[in-house]
Amino acid sequence: MQLTQIFKDMGSIGWAVVIALVLLSVYSVTVMVDKWRAFRAARNQSLKFLPEFVTALKKGDLKAAVEVARTHKKSHLARVVIAGLLEYINDEGEFRDGHDLVGACGRALERAQSVTSGELKRGLGALATIGSTAPFIGLFGTVVGIIHAFQGIAETGSGGIASVSGGIAEALITTAFGLFVAIPAVMGFNYFTGVLERLLIEMSNSSAELMDYFLKRTEGKHAAA
């Protein structure tokens, strides 16, 4: 039986299952391409951002550090540290105790990290859902195909291959579509989750290092006074 003939003989439910799986496949591929571009841009811009940012901090020029962060908007590190920098610059004269100022900067960094993490995670939940549900959607089509096969037996009164081939073929097609959609989605989810974990660690380390810088800066100013 040719593939075109199998699709022609498929029932409405089988077609609905195939169309649903195709739509899920297109969506999962779109999400994976979007995540790949976003993570790649974050990595590339962070590699350019860090040397310029460290140079500005060594000079003690926080405003220059802010401008460097603003020119690398896709960098996950820049999006986090700029919150701490702005908090320090805006509140530097309002806190008498340097530890209170550093604490406020730490809270700003935590908020920025949470927002950035949420944006980076966007779409991964959908990949996980597609990866886990697509096989069951295909299984539903499998069950429908088997039912059609038994209906063929009932109509012909015999169990010959001709009476069941259409239903069995429909069952196998929907099963294959379910696996075809699920496997790339699961692989993409696992890969991007690993990349995301590395980005989250980098953001945490950068926040901690910036907190140390703020603490040393405030202690140095109090010692000089």
Average pLDDT estimate for 123-150: 87
pLDDT above 90 as % of the chain: 55
pLDDT at 9: 64
Phi, psi of 75, rounded to the nearest 5 degrees: -75, 125
**What is the per-residue DSSP string for the chain?**
--HHHHHHH--HHHHHHHHHHHHHHHHHHHHHHHHHHHHHHHHHHHHHHHHHHHHHHHTT-HHHHHHHHHT-TT-HHHHHHHHHHHHHHHHTTT-SSHHHHHHHHHHHHHHHHHHHHHHHHTTHHHHHHHHHHHHHHHHHHHHHHHHHHHHHHHHHTS--HHHHHHHHHHHHHHHHHHHHHHHHHHHHHHHHHHHHHHHHHHHHHHHHHHHHHHHHHHHHHHHH-
Tell me what pLDDT residue 219 has: 72
| The predicted structure's pLDDT at residue 4 | 66
pLDDT digits (tens, 9 = 90+) for 209-219: 999 998 888 77
pTM: 0.83
pLDDT over 60 at 170, yes or no: yes
What are the structural domain ranges in the chain?
Answer: 3-219
On the question of pLDDT at 19 being above 80, the answer is yes
Note the pLDDT of residue 171: 78
Q: What is the mean pLDDT of the chain?
A: 85
Q: Position 4: which residue type?
A: T
Judge whether 219 and 93 are in contact, CB under 8 Å: no
| Residue, of 145 and 224, whose pLDDT is higher | 145
Q: pLDDT for 80-126, tens place per residue?
A: 999 999 988 887 766 555 567 788 889 999 999 999 999 999 999 99
pLDDT bucket at 166, cuts 50 / 70 / 90: low
Better-scored residue on pLDDT, 180 or 99 = 180
Of 102, 115, 131, give the one whose Cα is nearest residue 193.
131
pLDDT at residue 127, as a whole number:
94
Give the residue-averaged pLDDT of 3-13: 67
Residue type, 33: V
